[in-house]
Structure 1
Amino acid sequence: MADALGTRWRQAGHEVVAGSRSRGGFGEAAAFGTDAVLLAVPYAAAVDVVAGLGAALRGRVLIDCTNPVGSGFALLTAGGPAAAERIAAAAPAARVVKAFNLCHEDVWRLTPPVFAGRPLAVPLCGDDAAALAVVRRLVRDLGCTPLDAGGLDRAGLLEATAALLIGLWLGEGADAQAIAPPMEFAGRRDRPLQSGPNGVPLRSGGTA
């Protein structure tokens, strides 16, 4: 993820520094990140990594692309705080935005990620308006479209979506994109809601 996204951002004109335990320190990379710091480590190490960076993340936009997905495509954070919220708690001086967690690294290497003429949409969750503006620009620099998915308290929904999609793609070999209808069929706002069986809301003329 770091190489795929970093390479594309470098091509877009950004200066990029990568840090790892074996090639350049995490602290050096975090201190360099004047625009943003991408946290692209296994989820199991994410909290410890950001906690160890301390002051290097103060005021930084910290982009969390981790996925807490374990054996059997299970969501490791089910019933508790989302991964992004745990990362934010471990780095309280950083401005955390959840993004880029729904696609395999190969998707980010596409120039640009456009499918059937439609640019890939990237949902973002975060609480800091200025941080979200930075990440939106980075999304657009990839040729993608940023989507506001709410505050960081909704990051768990993105992480659960990733667990579902990964399970469908890898476990079932399914075309997971086919689970969502086109926008014109997703919700007709020109018809009033009615109550269907068991109180399920239906659009006029719709079915359960």
Structure 2
Amino acid sequence: MKLAFIGIGNVGFAIANNLQKKGHDIIVASNSENSQSVQKALKENSNFLVMNIQSAIDEAEIVFLATPFQANESILKSVNFNDKILVDCTNPVGMGISHGLKSEISGSEKVQEWAPEANVVKAFTIYGFENFIDSNYPNYNVKPIMLIAGNNIEAKSLVQKINSDMGFDTLDTGNLDQALHLEHMTLLWVKIARRDGHHPNFVWAMLEK
């Protein structure tokens, strides 16, 4: 598939680089081709194509949003998604690694508000980028789980295929309001790994009887 990435920092690049190696075509969506993050990404993977943001959205089958959350509103309100799938990989993080929207609403619901014509799916937020570079845990007989949320079943089905390519099983947690709880899981992971010094190579898994 053709996949566009708005934001190509640690998280965006890790996902994009992994998926390019799995055979997907990657478009870096940027209105500043000479930006440091874009040039770094192209240096590390010359197979990426760069387009301005609207052109990348128009060309792609799925768009990934991997920007700092505070940049989302201005970016999303300046483009048109025309019913495209928008995978929200962002998190609103406030002071002291708190929820940046005071847990009153999820960041993904705000993303949907700012991009009303997109089919927003929350994914790729409950771990750090290290687990998007390599999701393989060979000492276990289960795959790590990727929890997703969204209002459109077809959109979530396509994101599940992306998850499989990334090495994850998928748990659909329900509608987009569930993204608030996924963002709290992100904060938990971040506090364990980034604040308290646990190594980042750990994930959640799902065991069922």
**TM-score range, shorter-chain basis?**
0.7 to 0.9
Distance apart, 1:11 and its partner CA: 1.4
Q: Which amino acid aligns with 1:5?
A: I
TM-score normalised by structure 2 residue count: 0.78
1:113 and 2:140 correspond: no
**Which 4+ residue blocks in structure 1 deviate beyond 6 angstroms?**
175-178
Q: Which residue does the alignment assign to 1:53?
A: 79
161-170 or 87-96, which deviates more: 161-170
Q: Pick one of 138, 146, 150 that aligns with 2:174.
A: 150
Residues in 1 aligned to 2:118 and 2:206: alpha-carbon distance in whole angstroms = 37
Task: Determine whether 1:30 maps to 2:54.
Answer: no
Q: Residue 43 of structure 1 aligns with which residue?
A: 69
1:119–1:183 Cα change, 3 Å: closer
Residue 203 of structure 1: aligned partner:
none
Q: 1:168 matched to which residue of 2?
A: 192
Give the one of 102, 126, 134 matched to 1:102.
126
1:69 shift after superposition? 1.2
Structure 2 residue 15 is the aligned partner of structure 1 residue 20? no
DSSP 3-state at the match of 1:72: coil
1:9 aligns with 2:36: no
What residue number does 1:137 align with? 161
Contact 2:130 2:200 in 1 (8 A): no
Q: Which has the higher helix share?
A: 1
Q: Deviations over 1:114-168 (max 9, x none)?
A: 3532322100101101100110000001121111111101100001111122112
8 A contact 1:88–1:96 mirrored in 2:
yes
* C-alpha RMSD of the superposition: 2.4
Alpha-carbon distance in structure 1 between the residues aligned to 2:139 and 2:184: 26
Distance change >3 Å, CA 183–CA 50, structure 1 → 2: same
CA distance in 1: counterparts of 2:189 and 2:173, whole angstroms: 17
Contact 1:2/1:18 (8 A) holds in 2: no
Inter-partner Cα distance in structure 1 for 2:166 and 2:183 = 21
Deviations 1:48-90 (A, max 9, x none): 2111112xx1110000010111331111012422100000011
Which structure 1 segments of 5+ residues have no match? Answer: 190-208
Query: What letter corresponds to residue 48 of structure 1 in structure 2?
Result: S
Counterpart of 1:202? none
Aligned length: 181
Please state if 1:123 is matched with 2:133: no
Aligned-residue offset at 1:106: 2.0
Match for residue 80 of structure 1? Answer: 104
Distance 1:93 1:60 in 2: 8
CA distance in 1, matches of 2:76, 2:16: 19
Aligned-pair identity in percent equals 25
Task: State the partner residue of 1:197.
Answer: none
